[in-house]
């Protein structure tokens, strides 16, 4: 029973048992097993992006008796190796992460700059991430007559859940006696969501990256 600390790739004929939040077993076959030195474990099949079984960073692994056992909190994966086909240990594996652009945060900033044009209203103040007991409002814009514009921003296509978010925040502001108007702002919106907005007197404004 040896503790494994290093990263490796193993292509092997194996079978896998998992138990934790859920439970699964994967029948014997050829799989790609990847372990990173932060504890991450992935067992990949021939198709799809998502691993057949996995454990996030922090898992601890041991090997003995042709079995890898990886444990993290209440979750356990047992990999039984029937035949090892290809093994490799990557060296100097890079830790870098990609630099992203076009995120929701950036979209919020662009909206803030053009806020009066988008709302067609004279705005005194725009508060990002305004905290309520029902969660944070992406953008809260207040006009000269103390009308509160509740704005939910989505970087992709907005769905019904974005509309119910707005309603929930509006409900809170109404509870504390504010006048409110609700908005979803996104590059696109599903037809069902648009229908729901209309029925509930909410508004959608198209915005672009």
Structure-block tokens of residue 75: 């979750």
Residues 12, 132: Cα–Cα separation, whole Å: 52
136 binding DNA? (CB under 7 A): yes
Choose which of 50, 94, 125, 146 interacts with DNA (CB under 7 A): 50
What is residue 145's DSSP assignment?
T
In Å, how far from its chain's centre is CA 190? Answer: 20
Single out the segment in contact with DNA by CB under 7 A; choices: 3-11, 71-79, 120-128, 179-187: 71-79
Contact at 8 Å (CB) between 96 and 105? Answer: no
Q: Which of residues 73-92 bind its own copies (CB under 8 A)?
A: 85-86, 88, 90-92
Half-sphere exposure of 81 (CA within 13 A, CB side): 17
Contact at 8 Å (CB) between 90 and 97? Answer: no
Task: Let me know the angle formed at the C-alpha of 57 by 90 and 30, rounded to the nearest 5 degrees.
Answer: 55
Is residue 136 left, alpha or beta, with left meaning phi > 0 and alpha meaning psi from -120 to 50?
Answer: beta
Single out the segment in contact with DNA by CB under 7 A; choices: 3-11, 43-51, 79-87, 113-121: 43-51
Choose which of 2, 95, 96, 100 interacts with DNA (CB under 7 A): 100
Nearer to its own copies, 97 or 122 (CB): 97
64 binding its own copies? (CB under 8 A): no
Site size toward DNA (CB under 7 A) is: 42
For residue 83, give the 3-state DSSP assignment: strand
Residues 53, 148: Cα–Cα separation, whole Å: 47
155 binding DNA? (CB under 7 A): yes
| Residues in contact with DNA, shown as a per-residue x/- string from 163 to 202 under the rule CB under 7 A | --x------------------------xxxx---------
Q: Which of residues 120-179 bind its own copies (CB under 8 A)?
A: 133-135, 155-156, 160-161, 164-165, 167-168
Instruction: By CB under 8 A, name the binding residues for its own copies.
Output: 7, 9, 11, 16, 18, 21-27, 29-32, 34, 36-38, 40, 42, 44-49, 51-57, 85-86, 88, 90-103, 133-135, 155-156, 160-161, 164-165, 167-168, 192, 195-196
């Amino acid at each position: 029973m040896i503790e494994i600390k290093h990263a490796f790739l193993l292509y092997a004929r194996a079978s896998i048992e998992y138990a934790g939040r859920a439970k699964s077993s994967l029948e014997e076959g050829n799989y790609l097993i990847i372990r990173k030195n932060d504890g991450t474990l992935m067992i990949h099949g021939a198709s799809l992006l998502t691993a057949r079984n996995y454990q996030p960073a922090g898992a601890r692994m041991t090997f003995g008796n042709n079995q890898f056992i990886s444990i993290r909190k209440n979750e356990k994966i047992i990999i039984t190796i029937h035949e090892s086909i290809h093994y490799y240990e990557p060296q100097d594996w890079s830790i870098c992460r990609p630099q992203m652009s076009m995120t929701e945060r950036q979209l919020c900033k662009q909206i803030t700059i053009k806020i009066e044009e988008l709302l067609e209203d004279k705005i005194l103040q725009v508060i990002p991430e305004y905290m309520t007991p029902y969660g944070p409002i992406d953008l809260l814009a207040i006009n000269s007559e103390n009308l509160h514009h509740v704005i939910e921003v989505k970087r992709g296509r907005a769905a019904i859940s974005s509309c119910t978010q707005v309603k929930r925040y509006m409900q809170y502001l109404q509870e504390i006696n504010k006048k409110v108007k609700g908005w979803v702002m996104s590059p696109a919106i599903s037809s069902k969501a648009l229908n729901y907005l209309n029925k509930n007197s909410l508004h959608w404004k198209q915005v672009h990256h």
